[in-house]
């Protein structure tokens, strides 16, 4: 009962935006995917091309839309705990509270991604000729999602500013599109390219890329947890 009450309050403390924004992003991307398919048909393209356009839009949703939304959300939550000093004066560990909130916000983004993933499969837009929907196929979105979430948290803790961390995340996101040729032409950079599936497809190094991104997310998570235990840093007293 106590644990349930705690969870309920932590969810409330996250604020409604944490739950609404991933859903909004999903709706926006689905709308764009539908428009892309429909306009291809109107311009005389074949059914298969229109289907491909819609599929890319939906892949974009799970590989780059939801991860960005989740990253921005956790950056906002972590970078601005209004009752931080009260929390730090409590007997329990703030690291545990921060980790719980991060887990809850990530879990919601994960649930939305799973639901969208299932929807894409059911609607016949999954690239099944290239990769099966589960379990390896989940890495299409799981790897970039975890990178954005852990990076958003770490940036918010390092800069103690949701604006700065959100701006860096947005720049990283845009940079992935703008500098795609640079990323893909470099032997090392292509292994950390975040939107590989939607921009290139399932390549020979796709699985390596996804696993490296998961490792990167793990490293960022460790950094975030370390920072969550540094009270002086969190209060901005440690210059």
Partner 1 sequence: MDIRIEGLSKTYRGQTQALRDITLRIEPGMFGLLGPNGAGKTTLMRILAGVLRPTRGALWVGDHDCSTERGRIAVKRLLGYLPQDLGVYPDLSAHEFLDYLGLLKGLRDTQARQRRVEDLLEMVGLAEVAGRKLKGFSGGMKRRVGIAQALLNDPQLLIVDEPTAGLDPEERIHFRNLLADLGARRTVLLSTHIVEDIAQTCQRLAVMKSGQVVFCGAIGALVEAARGNVWQVTTTGAKPEGKFTVISTMRLASSAQYRVVGEAPPHTTDAATERVEPVEPGLEDGYVWLMREQRPSVLV
Question: Closest distance between partner 1 and the C-beta of residue 222, in Å?
Answer: 21
In angstroms, what is the minimal distance from the CB of 14 to partner 1? 9
Contacts 24+ apart (CB under 8 A), 1-9: 7/104
Phi-psi region of 147 (alpha: psi -120 to 50; beta: other; left: phi over 0): alpha
Q: CB 231 → partner 1: shortest distance, Å?
A: 6
- Best CA proximity match to 167, nearest among 68, 26, 62: 68
- Cα dist from 20 to 17, 25, 70, whole Å: 5, 9, 11
C-alpha 188/C-alpha 198 separation (Å) is: 19
How many helices (H) does the chain have, and how many strands (E)? 12, 0
Least distance from partner 1 to the Cβ atom of residue 5, Å: 6
Q: What are the angstrom distances between the C-alpha of 29 and each of 42, 103, 190?
A: 20, 25, 25
Which is nearer to partner 1, 6 or 118 (by Cβ)? 6
Residue numbers of the site for partner 1 (CB under 8 A)? Answer: 1-2, 5-6, 9, 12-13, 15-16, 81-92, 97, 231-232, 235, 237-239
- Contact assessment for residue 78 and residue 156, using Cβ atoms and an 8 Å cutoff: yes
Q: Which is nearer to partner 1, 200 or 223 (CB)?
A: 223
The CB-side HSE value for 70 (13 A sphere, CA atoms) comes to 32
The nearer residue to partner 1, 84 or 212, going by C-beta atoms, is: 84
Q: CB 198 → partner 1: shortest distance, Å?
A: 35
Alpha-carbon distance 180 to 189, whole Å?
10
In angstroms, what CA-CA distances link 222 with 6, 74, 95, 189, 227?
A: 24, 16, 11, 22, 9
Instruction: State the nearest-atom distance from the C-beta of 77 to partner 1, in Å.
Output: 11
Select 10 or 180, whichever has its Cβ closest to partner 1: 10
Supply the minimum distance, in Å, between the C-beta of residue 92 and partner 1: 6
Q: Which is nearer to partner 1, 83 or 188 (CB)?
A: 83
Which is closer to partner 1, CB of 84 or CB of 192?
84
Q: Between 100 and 218, name the residue whose CB sits nearer to partner 1.
A: 100
């Amino acid at each position: 009962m106590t644990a349930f009450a705690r969870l309920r309050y932590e969810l409330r403390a996250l604020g409604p935006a944490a739950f609404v924004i991933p859903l909004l992003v999903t709706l926006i991307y689905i709308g764009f995917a539908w428009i892309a398919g429909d306009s291809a048909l109107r311009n005389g393209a074949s059914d298969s091309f229109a289907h491909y356009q819609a599929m890319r839009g939906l892949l974009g949703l799970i590989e780059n839309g939801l991860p960005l939304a989740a990253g921005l959300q956790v950056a906002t939550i972590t970078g601005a705990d209004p009752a931080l000093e009260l929390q730090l004066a409590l007997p329990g560990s703030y690291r545990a509270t921060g980790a719980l909130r991060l887990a809850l916000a990530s879990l919601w983004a994960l649930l939305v991604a799973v639901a969208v993933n299932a929807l894409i499969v059911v609607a016949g837009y999954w690239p099944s000729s290239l990769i099966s929907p589960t379990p390896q196929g989940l890495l299409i979105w799981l790897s970039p999602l975890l990178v954005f979430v852990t990076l958003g948290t770490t940036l918010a803790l390092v800069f103690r500013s949701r604006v700065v961390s959100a701006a860096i995340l947005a720049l990283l996101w845009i940079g992935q599109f703008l500098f795609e040729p640079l990323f893909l032409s470099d032997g090392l950079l292509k292994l950390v390219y975040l939107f590989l599936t939607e921009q290139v497809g399932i390549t020979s190094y796709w699985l390596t890329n996804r696993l490296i991104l998961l490792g990167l997310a793990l490293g960022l998570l460790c950094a975030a947890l370390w920072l969550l235990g540094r009270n002086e840093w969190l209060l901005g007293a440690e210059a």
